[in-house]
Amino acid sequence: MEPLRLTGPGASAVKYDVLTALSVAGLNGSPTFQTSMMRLIALVTARYNWSLDELSVGQRDMARMWSVNERTVKREMKRLTGSGVLICKRQGVRGRVGAFRLNHARIAEISAPCWGLVGPDFEARMAERHRRPEVKVVQLQSYLAPAPVAGPEKGTPWQRVVAQLSVQHPAAYESWFSRLEFRDYGQGTLRLRASGKFVQRYIETHLIAILTAACEQEFGPLNHLAFGD
């Protein structure tokens, strides 16, 4: 993925798309996430320096803009940086205002399940802009170590699926597949439960082929892979 052009020709479209992505992700998230995105959008719209790619606003100014106290501002900024949506460029010390920048890759990651809700043109544009070449990570230790012998307590088909995903797709497993829970299997239908609707939508949109292939290796051909209770 090439660096985004935040100034010059075509930059306006990028800025509007960033705000749209934050908006739809917030509207499809929890009430707390909605509030965080609304506050961030207000900051970006009013005070983001696109030429420097940074946000530098004092906590008192943020508190006034958000109609909250400075303690709430500290918690909110900690939440935004902790989630990776904002990256701290420099700490605010000795009266100096801190500076942050938008993490466009992270924004694309959390908003991707919602792109289609805006429209196919937006989804195609964002997918192309944030397309990254797929890099297959080979875990060398998985080849060097002897193959584990599954005992009765670790030998269920779903446990083998989980083990396979954790080795072959460690990043996706850590972020997404580890949040799945086996519910039941019968008549070619495998039912799983995700830890939340956002996780479910992301897997259905971006990772369903990987998940289905891993499941069919253990359960056999599937008629349906379903989510829910």
- CB count within 10 Å of CB 176 equals 21
Distances (CA, A) of 3 to 17, 40, 85, 129: 15, 22, 16, 9
Domain over 11-129 is classified CATH 1.10.10.10: yes
What is the pLDDT tens value at each position of the chain, 229 positions in all? 445 666 777 788 889 999 999 999 999 888 888 999 999 999 999 999 998 889 999 999 999 999 999 999 999 999 898 888 999 888 877 778 889 999 988 898 889 888 989 998 999 888 888 875 554 554 544 444 444 434 333 578 999 999 989 888 888 888 889 999 999 998 889 999 998 888 898 898 888 888 988 998 888 888 889 998 7
Distance CA 42, CA 203 (A): 30
Tell me the pTM.
Answer: 0.57
The DSSP code for 153 is G
38 in Cβ contact with 127 (< 8 Å): no
pLDDT at 147: 41
pLDDT at 4: 65
124 in Cβ contact with 146 (< 8 Å): no
Q: Which of 64, 75, 71 is nearest to 35 (CA)?
A: 75
Distance CA 112, CA 81 (A): 19
Sequence-ordered strand ranges (E) for the chain: 86-90, 99-102, 180-186, 189-194, 224-227
User: Coil, helix or strand for 57?
Assistant: coil
Distance CA 219, CA 16 (A): 45
pLDDT at 145: 42
Superfamily of domain 140-227: DnaA, N-terminal domain (3.30.300.180)
- Which structure tokens are listed for 130? 């944030």
For tokens 């209770």, what's the residue?
229
Residues whose CB falls within 8 Å of the CB of residue 191, separated by 6 or more in sequence, listed in order: 183, 184, 185, 226, 227, 228
Distance CA 56, CA 36 (A): 17
Task: Kindly report, as residue ranges, where domains of CATH 1.10.10.10 are found in the chain.
Answer: 11-129
Distance CA 103, CA 74 (A): 19
Distance CA 40, CA 19 (A): 9
Task: Kindly report, as residue ranges, where domains of CATH 3.30.300.180 are found in the chain.
Answer: 140-227
